[in-house]
Chain A
Amino acid sequence: GQNIDQPTEMTATEGAIVQINCTYQTSGFNGLFWYQQHAGEAPTFLSYNVLDGLEEKGRFSSFLSRSKGYSYLLLKELQMKDSASYLCAVRDTGRRALTFGSGTRLQVQP
């Protein structure tokens, strides 16, 4: 089976940087995804990591360490619209569907 842990809530200030961590345990790791979900809406894809290292995409970056079962999502130059839940999801070789963590609710304050 799989186990994915993320902090439940985080608060940060507009213009700042925030790092959202995700740890996972899986029998056959085959990729990690980050999604953003605004309240009452569907998740939207942010990033994908399958190899160790940092993937950068504009204000958002995602890091993966397979040996540590650890990933983080880094959000720079925070904007009010970044207030949302951020979901970490892992795919393993055993099945074709993603397993999601419970999500981290980020509140950006002025």
Chain B
Amino acid sequence: DGGITQSPKYLFRKEGQNVTLSCEQNLNHDAMYWYRQDPGQGLRLIYYSQIVNDFQKGDIAEGYSVSREKKESFPLTVTSAQKNPTAFYLCASKRLAGVRDTQYFGPGTRLTVL
């Protein structure tokens, strides 16, 4: 089955610890995205990548880092510099070729920092 996987579904960390959220896709999509969602809010863009070894900051990149060493994988690290990391994190991917092509989302990781 083709799709986007994120693991784990729930993640708990102590304040001050870095944590890495995984995102893998087998859709052969070129572009991948990370969004953050807080309760009752829309999605805010953290980082995105259109090709391997290249990525751009989104609207709220401070306190986060990413890598894109493989087309299939786009891990997000939440660092201790992120002031309020507790949130629902969503990874998405899409093809670059089609204008109508939409983003497909993974199931999300709910991060709670204690």
The interface bits of chain A over 22-59 (1 if a CB of B lies within 8 angstroms of the residue's CB, else 0) are 00000000110100000011111100101000000000
Contact (Cβ within 8 A) B99 A87: no
Contact (Cβ within 8 A) A42 B31: no
The answer to whether B40 has its CB under 8 Å from any CB of chain A is: yes
Known: A87-B42, A97-B58. A48 touches B48 (CB 8 A): no
- The residue of chain A having its C-beta at the shortest distance from the C-beta of B48 within the complex is A97
Of the residues B40, B48, B56, B90, contact of A43 by C-beta under 8 Å: B90
The answer to whether B107 has its CB under 8 Å from any CB of chain A is: yes
Please give the number of chain A residues whose Cβ is less than 8 angstroms from any Cβ of chain B in the complex: 25
Contact (Cβ within 8 A) B103 A98: yes
Closest Cβ of chain B to A43, distance in Å, is 5
Closest Cβ of chain A to B57, distance in Å, is 11
Known: A42-B108, A43-B90. A100 touches B42 (CB 8 A): yes
Contact (Cβ within 8 A) B58 A100: no
- The residue of chain B having its C-beta at the shortest distance from the C-beta of A44 within the complex is B105
> Given the complex, which residues of A lie within 8 Å of B42, measured CB to CB?
4, 87, 100-103
Chain B residues touching A, range:
20 to 34
Most buried by A among B50, B102, B103: B102
> Given the complex, which residues of A lie within 8 Å of B70, measured CB to CB?
none
> Given the complex, which residues of B lie within 8 Å of A8, measured CB to CB?
40
Known: A31-B99, A102-B41, A103-B42. A96 touches B48 (CB 8 A): yes
The answer to whether B45 has its CB under 8 Å from any CB of chain A is: yes
Contact (Cβ within 8 A) A87 B43: yes
- 6 A-B pairs with the lowest CB-CB distances in the bound complex, closest first: A42-B105, A100-B42, A102-B42, A100-B43, A45-B102, A97-B48
Please list 23 pairs of residues, one from A and one from B, whose beta carbons are closer than 8 Å in the complex, sorted by A's number. A30-B99, A31-B99, A31-B100, A40-B88, A40-B108, A40-B110, A41-B107, A42-B90, A42-B105, A42-B106, A43-B43, A44-B105, A87-B42, A87-B43, A96-B31, A96-B96, A100-B42, A100-B44, A101-B42, A102-B40, A102-B41, A103-B41, A103-B42
